[in-house]
Structure 1
Amino acid sequence: MSEKLTVNVRSFSYKKGIPQDESGNGGGFVFDCRGILNPGRIQDYKTITGRDKNVIEYLETKTKILEFLDAIYTIIDLTIEDYSTRGFANLEINFGCTGGQHRSVYSADAVSKHIQEKFPNVNVVVNHVEQESKNWINEIY
């Protein structure tokens, strides 16, 4: 097999369920971000996302999200290296949180950036399942 590895990175809401692997291979990773303090519990952050500056600052300074992601980088780097060497075509990496709006969005974006920088020969596809389904209009959950 000489296909280029495609890594699908998704954020999602656990309230709506874990996304299906459309590649047909099954498997991959599902990381639960609910152990990280939820910025969605703060009134000023209820209608913004993990892409907004205030939420990013909160996550990076008031939570352990950076430690959480460092551990994930170790796991996914090993897998991406192995999958690339063995000619695998797909890898799924999913991040879930309560509403699919803050922690999972931030994590999916951070991991996507990490993969693109460390593995430039890998295709990275990012989907924010909950946010895209709402056209990025956020309501208090």
Structure 2
Amino acid sequence: MKLLIVSGLSGSGKSIALTTLEDCGFYCIDNLPVTLLEDFINDVMLADRKTYEKTAIGIDARNQSDSLLNFASIIKLIRSKGIECEVMFMQAEEAVLLKRYSETRRRHPLTDYNLPLKEALVIEKEILKPIARLADFVIDTSRTHYHQLRDLIRDQVGERNVRHISIQFQSFGFKHGVPLDADFIFDVRCLPNPYWVPELRGLTGKDQAIIEFLDREPNVLEYFQDVSAFLERWIPRFEEEGRSYLTIAIGCTGGQHRSVYLADLLAKQYKSQALNIIIRHRELH
């Protein structure tokens, strides 16, 4: 049996995550009080294993903070019953959350006449710390639109092969901010930049002309070999420790050329090793 706990900041995409998981065959429950979680496991999941073979439960800041203090003990108890339990935590930058609430005009669950939205976000982050600390993987949705988030959830949770670690190679541009959900970040801004070649400027790292340009550069090959050697050594260590997910972020200036090229090159290499590989190009639309 599998239980996935979905939590995170309000406005970060938890509802999208749950509906996506439902499409992937999970039985989904939103906003279950933490105090009822143990009873749900004993009286519902274990009593009907077939119906609740894959279950996802949304837990958010509407829980009283005191009830979240024992969250680690609850997770330990769930796993002791033979249930595979993972925690997914979703977040986004404060400015992005403020903008989303402004656009939707929805009320944050913690706000009232005496508590403005910005302060509510700070309090919410503090309340959810016990869950965030135990997250098996974190998804930052600051620059992820609806369809990208659904694809990401499907790849990481809904349709992945659970026998191997799932590795996401993500390209990004430093000028748009560093991805907060990355486990490792490699800076490729030191490599030759096709942007300064006028006929290549409007292309991306997926175009053949860019690929040929970077293939000819010795420094690019050396960088690729060094990163590959690092990952070859350390990915097995993470897998041995029981990690299910690993995000490798490759960043250049704008996230269009060098980072895209190298993320694709690394993903291609590791796809031949029976690993679950996810590719995401954050700045490409």
Give the alignment's TM-score, normalised by structure 1: 0.82
> Could you list the per-position Cα deviations for residues 65-110 of structure 1 after superposition, in whole angstroms to 9, with x for gaps in the alignment?
1110000001011121112223211111000001100000001000
In structure 2, the partner of 1:44 is: 199
Which stretch shifts more, 30-39 or 59-68?
A: 59-68
Could you tell me whether the CA contact under 8 Å between 1:6 and 1:124 is conserved in 2? yes
Residue identity (%): 33
Aligned partners of 1:3 and 1:89 also within 8 Å: no
Match of 1:33 in 2: 188
Say how many residue pairs are matched.
125
Q: What's the counterpart of residue 10 of structure 1?
A: 170
Relative to structure 1, the CA distance from residue 42 to residue 63 in structure 2 (aligned partners, 3 Å threshold; closer, same or farther) is farther
Letter in 1 for 2:191: I
Gaps of 5+ in 1: 22-26, 136-141
Report the Cα distance in structure 1 between the residues aligned to 2:221 and 2:281, rounded to whole angstroms. Answer: 20
Structure-2 change in CA distance of 1:34 and 1:130 (3 Å): same
Give the letter aligned to residue 279 of structure 2: V
1:127 paired residue number: 280
1:89-104 correspondence to structure 2 within 5 Å: 89-104=244-259
Residue equivalent to 1:87: 242
Shift, 1:40, TM fit: 0.8
CA-atom RMSD, angstroms?
A: 1.6
Give 3-state SS (helix, strand or coil) of 2:277's partner. Answer: strand
Distance (whole Å) between structure 1 residues aligned to residue 177 and residue 218 of structure 2: 25
Distance in structure 1 (CA, Å) of the matches to 2:197 and 2:164:
42
Higher RCO (CA 8 Å, separation ≥ 6 residues): 1
Normalising to structure 2: TM-score of the pair? 0.42
For the residue of structure 1 that corresponds to 2:172, the secondary structure is strand
Distance 2:172 2:239 in 1: 26
What are the ranges of 5 or more consecutive residues in structure 2 without an aligned counterpart?
A: 1-83, 85-161
Moved over 4 A (4+): none
Deviation at 1:114, TM superposition (A): 1.1
**Is the Cα–Cα contact under 8 Å of residues 4 and 87 in structure 1 kept in the other structure?**
no
Structure 2 match to 1:139: none
